[in-house]
């Protein structure tokens, strides 16, 4: 049984669909309920099981309620994919502070709230049949490894995801909860749609001459991670388009 945040589009939607195709019942968590309902209907039409949960994970109470509802309705949680995030690039000097707040709230606080609420369920599932292992996958970015001018606070949040993931991994790996960090490079999603127009085109132009990854490519990688046998943990996965240099 799996829960995926940011499931209304992009990597989240693709991951939920892929996990469902591989036999998982999936809780779909995001703010855009109509998109979740459409995805849940598609999964059901393909013979899978999906539960649409409208929630803003930047609100602690909503994040906790979404995890509790998923665990109750699905019976347990074996896999949680913390995918919800936002990328608002631009210079630090004279930056709109609202953009910083949005990135910190979603990329960090939202991820932390979901992880905190889900961990008791994952620790319990790791002790039970049939797998005796559970997975928390935190979706970061190549920006969690490489710092660039114009992405300072986005870099801050994604480096933070990496630090949190590794510390938590060391805490719970002995209890067979695997914590994995996935760091995508350029992926064709809605992520750049939220950037200010004058910065958006400059950002997109970086990828004009290369073939971007699809959301399905990242979904396939996540499904591979959580599908490993109990004695194998994929702790970190950096995945770029072949032609991307940084």
193 has pLDDT over 80: no
Q: Which pLDDT value is given to residue 203?
A: 74
Q: Which of 116, 180, 122, 192 is nearest to 150 (CA)?
A: 192
Tens digits of residue pLDDT in 143-188: 999 999 999 999 999 999 999 999 999 999 999 999 999 999 999 8
Give the number of domains in the chain: 1
What value does the mean pLDDT take over residues 5-34?
97
239 has pLDDT over 80: yes
CA distance 173 to 25: 24
Give the three-class secondary structure for 85: coil
- Range in 29-33, 71-75, 115-119, 205-209 with the lowest mean pLDDT: 205-209
CA distance 17 to 125: 22
Q: Which of 32, 43, 26, 27 is nearest to 9 (CA)?
A: 32
Assigned domain for 246 exists: no
Query: Which residues are part of the catalytic machinery?
Result: 154
Assigned domain for 244 exists: no
Q: Which pLDDT value is given to residue 196?
A: 79
Assigned domain for 245 exists: no
Confidence of residue 195 (pLDDT cuts 50, 70, 90): confident
Computed over every residue of the chain, the mean pLDDT equals 95
CATH number at residue 216: 3.40.50.720
Confidence of residue 3 (pLDDT cuts 50, 70, 90): very high
Helix axes 111-125, 60-74, angle to 10 degrees: 30
Task: Name residue 103's beta-bridge partners.
Answer: none
Q: Name the pTM for this structure.
A: 0.93
Tens digits of residue pLDDT in 209-229: 789 999 999 999 999 999 999
Q: Which pLDDT value is given to residue 114?
A: 98
Q: Which pLDDT value is given to residue 189?
A: 82
Tens digits of residue pLDDT in 126-137: 999 999 999 999
Q: Which pLDDT value is given to residue 170?
A: 98
Percentage of the chain lying above the pLDDT 90 cut = 89
Assigned domain for 31 exists: yes
Write out the residue range of the structural domain in which residue 94 sits: 2-239
Q: Which two three-digit tokens encode residue 130?
A: 């049939």
Assigned domain for 75 exists: yes
Q: Which pLDDT value is given to residue 245?
A: 83
Assigned domain for 172 exists: yes
198 has pLDDT over 80: no
What value does the mean pLDDT take over residues 180-200?
85
Query: Strands 26-30 and 50-54: what pairing?
Result: parallel
């Amino acid at each position: 049984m799996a829960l995926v945040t940011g499931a209304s589009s992009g990597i989240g939607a693709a991951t939920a669909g892929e996990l469902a195709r591989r036999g998982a019942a999936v809780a779909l968590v995001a703010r855009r309920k109509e998109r979740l309902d459409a995805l849940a209907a598609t999964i059901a039409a393909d013979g899978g099981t999906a539960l649409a949960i409208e929630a803003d994970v930047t609100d602690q109470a909503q994040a906790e309620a979404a995890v509790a509802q998923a665990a109750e309705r699905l019976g347990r949680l074996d896999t949680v994919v913390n995918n919800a995030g936002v990328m608002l690039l631009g210079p630090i000097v004279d930056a709109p502070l609202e953009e910083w707040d949005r990135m910190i709230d979603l990329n960090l606080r939202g991820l932390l709230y979901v992880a905190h609420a889900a961990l008791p369920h994952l620790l319990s599932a790791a002790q039970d049949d049939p797998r005796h292992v559970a997975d928390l996958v935190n979706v970061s970015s190549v920006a969690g490894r490489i710092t660039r001018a114009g992405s300072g606070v986005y870099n801050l949040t994604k480096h933070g995801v990496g630090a949190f993931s590794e510390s938590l991994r060391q805490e719970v790996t002995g209890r067979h909860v695997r914590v994995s960090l996935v760091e995508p490079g350029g992926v064709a999603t809605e992520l750049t749609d939220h950037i200010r127009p004058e910065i958006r085109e400059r950002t997109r132009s970086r990828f004009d001459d290369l073939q971007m990854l699809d959301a399905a490519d990242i979904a396939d990688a996540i499904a591979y991670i959580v599908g490993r046998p109990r004695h194998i943990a994929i702790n970190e996965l950096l995945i770029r388009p072949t032609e991307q240099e940084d």
